[in-house]
Amino acid sequence: MSQAEIQKVIASFTSIEQVLKHFDIEFDSKFINEYRVPLMKRINGNLLLAKPDDWFSARRALRNAYCKIQRGRLDPHSRSACRGCTTCIRR
C-alpha cells in the first residue's frame, strides 16, 4: 500500500471513528466527541510528517496522534498512562 493509496483510503472515510476502526485502534467515543478538532489536526500533521508507506506505519502515526492528545490531558507529575499507544500500555 503506497502513501497515495493510504491517503485515498483515509479521505474516503466520513468520520474519525471510521478511520480508527479501519486501523484497529481502540478509542473512547466520549473522548473523540470532546477532542475531535485537535485530534484531527494532530492526525493530519502526523500523516504529513510520517509519510506512511504501508498500513502499519499509518496505524503507528494515528496511534501516536491519539496518544499525544490523551497524554496532554493527564497530570504531568503522575505516571498515569493513556490507552493510545504501545509504549503507554507497557508501562
Tally of structural domains, the chain: 1
Residue 53 in any domain: the answer is yes
* Residue 35 pLDDT: 92
- What span, in angstroms and rounded, lies between the C-alpha atoms of 69 and 61? 13
Residue 88 in any domain: the answer is no
* Residue 89 pLDDT: 58
Residue 65 in any domain: the answer is yes
- Judge whether 82 and 74 are in contact, CB under 8 Å: yes
Cell of 6: 493510504
Which tens digits make up the pLDDT trace of 54-85? 889 999 989 888 888 888 887 777 777 665 55
* Residue 33 pLDDT: 92
Instruction: Determine the angle formed by the axes of helices 36-50 and 55-73, rounding to 10 degrees.
Output: 140
Query: Both ends of the chain: CA-CA distance in Å?
Result: 32
Q: Is the pLDDT of residue 87 over 70?
A: no
Domain that holds residue 52: 3-73
- Judge whether 82 and 67 are in contact, CB under 8 Å: yes
